[in-house]
Amino acid sequence: MTAHGFLFALEVSSQGLPAWLIQDIVGQICRYARCADEALPGLREALEKAVAEGESGGTRRCDVQFRAQNGTLEVMVASNGGRIWQTKLPTS
């Protein structure tokens, strides 16, 4: 049984997002979307780097989106209107 489609988005200020919070969010969303457990460590690390890049530069804000649909979880990080990083993971 697959999870219903959903969109979870958050806006991160230039003050940053703690690594422990990114790890918790990724874990919860991936469990809900039914992603493979072995994908979590790599996704957490890549997302931490992308968010840090989006937050750099003082007053920049960073947008993070998780979108589950059609058997895929898409994760995207953008800053000031430009996409920084994106990936897709299969869900079950």
Where residue 48 sits, what CATH number does that domain have? 3.30.565.10
Domain count, the chain: 1
For residues 12-29, average pLDDT? 85
pLDDT tens string 45-77 = 999 888 888 766 555 788 999 999 999 999 999
Strand partners, 74: 67, 88
Position 1 in a domain: no
Cα distance between residue 14 and residue 79, in whole Å: 10
Tell me the pLDDT band of 3, cut-offs 50, 70 and 90: low
Tell me the pLDDT band of 1, cut-offs 50, 70 and 90: very low
Tell me the residue range of the domain where 50 lies: 6-90
The identity of residue 53, as a single letter, is E
Cβ contacts of residue 40 below 8 Å, gap of 6+?
A: 26, 27, 30
Structure tokens at 11: 């806006």
